[in-house]
Structure 1
């Protein structure tokens, strides 16, 4: 009987491991749902068993966890049950707000909003030094430099956070940093005020995503163009009023995906529409390596037929991706590089009139990325 019980255990374990391969062939939905924003852990090569048994065991365990039959279905069911019965987020990285709003709770986003993790004097001094080096290196080549801060969602829509989540201190990290940058003569664009003011017209952030929606991206792009017009006053403004906006139903955003519920927790996106044809079109990228080196973060180049308008290079994070089709309408050529690291070789290849560094509020430490040797400590060629 003991031997039979052991054989049954081995059989059940073998069936469990083989289920991800067998169930799809039987037409049963036991595999992974296409809502989680990360690749499934791969089955490790058998050769790793004798080459590095410890690493092989860890990789096999990760694969088994990801490939377990009905894994995602069970997680979804548990998430829906906890949301329905207890009204709580089942995922630590997602905060359940009011009226269907979701907020991000990773990368110190909540601590940033609560103002409980201020920047140290050493960090502030380093940020000013590094950004001043870039400004001076660019200025020696006749290139303007603009730093753009996109606010975290809870900074613009605090009224939808759970009760009791309010800032513990009056000054945020941006409140510390921006005056120091401006005192050093750096051009800074703080998008907190324009995005908050635009709420009176349309919603500017997605309810189920960490990012702004299409209208918020348009507002940000308009503010960037207005900042560039300080150097190029003949450049036409990007008027938000020149766009209409419609609501469009779509699957939920990245926060709903973290709950594995984007098909249930859907988004009413706000999509701007321009009257008339778009001026900007996708162009060929430069003949240099893409610093992002990631298929989902590929560089983008756009051009218009207005050779008299300035050229621009943007170093950015995910927030600038939504701005691109709007802000590109006011440059002869604009290149968008998904990295906060400064790459002087690209500047020399593109020869822009303005360089923009876009940083979302929770990534403020991106300003501490040291400059490469051609830039660091130099203000002239």
Structure 2
């Protein structure tokens, strides 16, 4: 009669001790965090600020307690495989036919596309006015400015979004911004229709990642270069025949990795693309930048002119194609156009690239 309560008490005590044992011995070390979250370090106790320490430690422990990653691994697989739902719905939305989308944790991207976070005409006009000032400053230094928007996958593949998260039929934030910019002399590159046309015959975005795939990147680069050629005819025309395009089996992207589903959910298709030698740039330098968190990259190429490209993560793939059309190219990951950098680089072409969900950042670029 006394064995059962003793066994329950022992089991309960072991369960209480398991998190501390894991933190001390690393029992679940093979389960790493893949949730794309910033892990807070152990807070310091600064007497007499004990209450602040307790609050910070509570947050730290919730994010770092023993077996947390292993428990999330099991929970994620159960919720996705058994219920067909995302274990992190604010970060990742599970769509149809194996498609995954970025969730509202990232600048309310879902609400943006549902028309719940509209861009006002006044905000669009302020962005346009700010960019016009940038354009004038660059023109005085002999550089032409181009604004390039990388569409969200929600825009190009809305048909695979869940039924309850369908896009609004009203003009999108990008539509409102484009309307304001069309009243100016800004060189604005909107490639939504180009990508929609390309997707009839090719997949242009990863199904398990936030970014476009290699083919979509190439199509985007071609559209940008064709727009630049209108002002600078010395830039070589873009021909798809200059690229070896091969289809392969795909891998897992950042969205399924966040859900620890990278072993189960993979893209059915991956494009391997290689330019011919006379359209290939050569990387000459990789410059660390601790302030930005990403290195800057310098290229030489067979073309003419000097390109300064300031962008986000979508620009990474574009480094495989654009340098082949300029004599020198410099790629910087940033949300700011540094005037000192412009004076140093002396570019003939400046491209500001930003993903659609972050177009509000153009107001301070």
TM-score interval, normalised by the smaller of the two chains = 0.7 to 0.9
What is the rounded CA distance, in whole Å, between the counterparts of 1:186 and 1:69 in structure 2? Answer: 54
Aligned match of 2:202: 202
Report the equivalent of 2:284.
283
The SS at the match of 1:244 is strand
Equivalent residue, structure 2, for 1:20:
23
- C-alpha distance 119-323 of structure 1, shift in aligned 2 (>3 A): same
How far 1:194 sits from its partner (Å)? Answer: 1.2
Q: 1:57 aligns with which of 54, 57, 61?
A: 54
Residue aligning to 2:291: 293
Contact 1:30–1:69 (CA under 8 A) maintained in structure 2: no
* Deviations 1:14-34, CA, capped at 9 Å, x for gaps: 553242231x4xxx4455425
Is 1:41–2:44 an aligned residue pair?
no
Alignment correspondent of 2:5: none
C-alpha distance 281-9 of structure 1, shift in aligned 2 (>3 A): same
* SS of alignment partner, residue 183 of structure 1: coil
Post-superposition Cα deviations, 1:204-240, rounded to whole Å, max 9, x if no partner, equal: 0010111101111111111111111112113212223
**Structure 1: any 5+ residue segments left out of the alignment?**
371-381
Contact 2:302 2:327 in 1 (8 A): yes
Return the offset for 1:270. Answer: 2.4
* CA distance in structure 2 between the partners assigned to 1:49 and 1:264 by the alignment: 46
Is 1:142 aligned to residue 142 of structure 2? Answer: yes
Tell me if the contact between 2:121 and 2:176 (Cα under 8 Å) persists in the aligned partners: no
Give how far 1:12 is off: 6.5
1:102 matches 2:100: yes
Tell me what 1:375 maps to. Answer: none
Q: Which residue of 1 aligns with 2:3?
A: none
Q: What's 1:266 paired with?
A: 266
Report the Cα distance in structure 2 between the residues aligned to 1:251 and 1:59, rounded to whole angstroms: 38
Matched positions, count: 354
- Are 2:33 and 2:69, in contact at CA under 8 Å, matched by a contact in 1? no
Aligned-partner SS, 1:77: helix
RMSD: 2.7
State the partner residue of 1:374.
Answer: none
- Give 3-state SS (helix, strand or coil) of 2:101's partner: strand
2:189 matched to which residue of 1? 189
User: Secondary structure of the equivalent of 1:257?
Assistant: helix
Which position in structure 1 is the counterpart of 2:323? 328
For 1:256 and 1:20, locate their aligned partners in 2 and report how far apart those are by CA, in whole Å.
Answer: 26
Tell me the equivalent position of 2:306: 311
Is 1:352 matched with 2:347?
yes
Runs of 4+ in 1 over 6 A off after TM superposition: 5-12
2:28 and 2:249 mapped to 1: Cα distance? 26
So what's the TM-score if we normalise by structure 1? 0.84
Between the aligned partners of 2:50 and 2:321, the Cα distance in structure 1 is 52
Cα pair 1:304 1:329 within 8 Å, conserved: yes
Relative to structure 1, the CA distance from residue 77 to residue 10 in structure 2 (aligned partners, 3 Å threshold; closer, same or farther) is closer
Aligned to 2:158: 158
CA contact (8 A) 2:119 2:176 kept: yes
Q: SS in structure 1 opposite 2:308?
A: strand
SS in 1 for 2:230: coil
CA contact (8 A) 2:22 2:28 kept: no
Q: Which runs of 5+ in 2 are unaligned?
A: 1-7
Say which SS state the counterpart of residue 21 (structure 1) adopts.
helix
SS at match of 1:261: coil
The answer on whether the counterparts of 1:316 and 1:358 sit within 8 Å (CA) in structure 2 is yes
CA distance in 2, matches of 1:169, 1:273: 35
CA contact (8 A) 1:218 1:272 kept: no
State the secondary structure of the residue aligned to 2:336. Answer: coil
